[in-house]
A and B are shown apart, each in its own frame.
Chain A
Amino acid sequence: MTKQLWKGNEAVAEAAIRAGCEAYFGYPITPQTELLEYMSWRMPQVGRVFLQAESEVGAINMVYGAACAGRRVMSSSSSPGVSLMMEGLSYIAASDVPAVLVNVMRGGPGLGNIHPAQSDYFQAVKFGGHGDYHPIVLAPASVQEAIELTALSFDLAEKYRHVVIEVLDGSIGQMMEPAEMPEMQPVRLERPAWALTGATERPKNVISSIRIDSEGLEAHNLHLQDKLAHIRGCEVRYKEYWLDDADLVLVAYGTAGRIALSAIRQARAEGLRVGLLRPVTLYPFPTERLARLAKQAQAFLVVEMSAGQMLEDVRLAVEGRAPVRFYGRMGGAVPMPDEIFEVVRGLCYALRPPKPSGNGHHPARRPQPEDPGPQGAD
């Protein structure tokens, strides 16, 4: 199949349909609305369910219901709308039913604005709903990857009977890139044994998030924790760029990851030893890979479109073995490659001061490091 130019939001919608999504419930909000709009004509066209709910609270509870019936189901929204869904997602997670939610993140807090942001990391990864659990969180950096991770979202949700959140930022939702769509998968007809399908000729199934006695609820929590431990062991995904000889390792996901890649190319052209680790799963997080890198690299730089949220997970992984610095923009502002490059260059020269004369590539362009350099973990 040849590549076509796809808008991120529409590509995710079509990818979900091709992955056999049977029902979509949602409520419009920029910069996610094209996803819902695409579903509104395309789902009926293929004989499936599209329903615009009265609110995000309604939408997520419809997802809960359809998930209990063993259907492939999803919703999508953007930051303020996702906040409204937190209660429902907690119930879904407690009930061990599979559901997929796409968050096309925008600037916050509050109503914020509609520009791209990554400030919902904590909400997604640490989870904004109540109780002890984490969703699986996937973070594409391109339209093609968004297509692939959408299909993966449904598979992981069903494999683990768990909540999967795919986080895009507004720019991936809005941008167009050439991408290849997978073939249409048939809708799965058989229902899982646990699903509520009308108990005729079998014992009844019960799906609930309430467990009155503390022993029972603790046992259920232990089950959820076992599931998460298994997920952490099996489902970590990330991409690496130029890490073999990197003194400085950038860690960035999604759009920040690809902007960091541009800055790193510029740095490599100047002979600076810089690499990138781009987490694709934010939960489970590539903790072990970062811990190994901490033995090799001299410093880390985390780049996010937030005040520094993934930064905490990087520091937990590095465990103080190397300094971890941060560069970020907030409120819908996007860091430009040259901004990141300047930070990278400053850190690299602090790690390896350029030789005073002669054999450097561009001695005139090399500033002396004014910064004392990364000496502690801040």
Chain B
Amino acid sequence: MNKQTEIIVSGFGGQGALFAGQLLAYAGMDEGKHVTWIPSYGPEIRGGTAHCITIISDEEIGSPFVRRPAAAIVLNQPSLEKYGPLVRPGGVLIIGGAFGEEHVSRSDIREIRVPAQEIANALGNTRLANVVCLGALLAATKVLPLEALERALANHLPERHRHLLPANKEALRRGAIFVPDQELAA
């Protein structure tokens, strides 16, 4: 693994992009890594995108900003159009749904399209799509063990969502098993 992994999570407001990025930061911190989390903030428009940058590193983090991240999770089409081209060659792009069918796949990164909405619906909560994508991201990048994210969920899920912890853990696991093992696939 690289010493530093930068991850952009982006989607419509309400899809949980910012929280997904925070979970990564919590999990990284609990694993003893250096982390930063920085949100987009500004006069956002209804239906517009919100994104955040999470950096997980073995050493003190310099810039909390990055032009070309090692990985991205995109939860809607505008995010795919904006951040899909920015992922560094050799990086990972998690496309969390059936949008952007006309999107031309890049051969220099690993693109994984996850039916996050369907998986989330099957678990009974459409709002788990962000966590499904987190599971896929961890499986594809190995930036953190899945258990670290589970612990972060247990420790940092807001009180009002605490009853959803089992469903969140299941969403994480289903996202992870959706990703084919790269060595076997190759």
Contacts and interface: CB of A to CB of B under 8 A. Distances in A.
A338 interface: yes
Nearest to A261: B62
A175 interface: yes
Interface string B10-36: 000000000000100110010000111
Contacts of A334: 65
Interface in A246-286: 255, 258-265
Give the top 6 A-B pairs by smallest Cβ distance, nearest first.
A262-B62, A261-B62, A259-B63, A175-B38, A262-B63, A176-B37
A171 B62 contact: no
B22 A171 contact: no
Nearest to A141: B62
Interface residues of B, number: 21
A338 B66 CA distance: 9
B43 interface: yes
B79 to A, nearest CB: 20
B124 interface: no
A5 B65 contact: no
Interface in A320-349: 334, 336-338
Interface in B66-83: 66-67
A171 B38 contact: yes
A177 B36 contact: yes
B32 to A, nearest CB: 10
B47 interface: no
Contacts of A174: 38-39, 41
Residue in B36, B60, B66, B67 with the greatest tally of chain A CB atoms within 10 Å: B36
A308 interface: no
B63 A258 contact: yes
Interface in B83-141: none
A30 interface: yes
B62 A5 contact: no
Residue in A115, A178, A258, A337 with the greatest tally of chain B CB atoms within 10 Å: A178
B65 A336 contact: yes
B63 A5 contact: no
Nearest to A259: B63
B64 interface: yes
A276 to B, nearest CB: 10
Residue in B26, B60, B61, B64 with the greatest tally of chain A CB atoms within 10 Å: B64
B67 A338 contact: yes
A1 to B, nearest CB: 14
B62 A30 contact: no
Given A3-B29, A5-B25, A175 B62 contact: no
A63 interface: no
A302 interface: no
Given A5-B26, A31-B41, A114-B41, A176 B36 contact: yes
A145 to B, nearest CB: 12
A114 B42 contact: yes
Contacts of A263: 62
A305 to B, nearest CB: 11
A175 B63 contact: no
A176 B22 contact: yes
Contacts of A5: 22, 25-26, 29, 35, 37
A337 B62 contact: yes
A196 to B, nearest CB: 41
A334 B67 CA distance: 11
A178 B35 contact: yes
A304 to B, nearest CB: 15
Nearest to A31: B41
Contacts of B64: 171, 175, 255, 258
B41 A30 contact: yes
B38 A258 contact: no
B41 A337 contact: no
Contacts of B22: 5, 176
8 contacts: A5-B22, A171-B38, A176-B22, A258-B62, A264-B62, A265-B62, A336-B65, A336-B66
Contacts of A175: 36-38, 64
Nearest to B65: A334
A178 B29 contact: yes
B63 A337 contact: yes
A35 B34 CA distance: 24
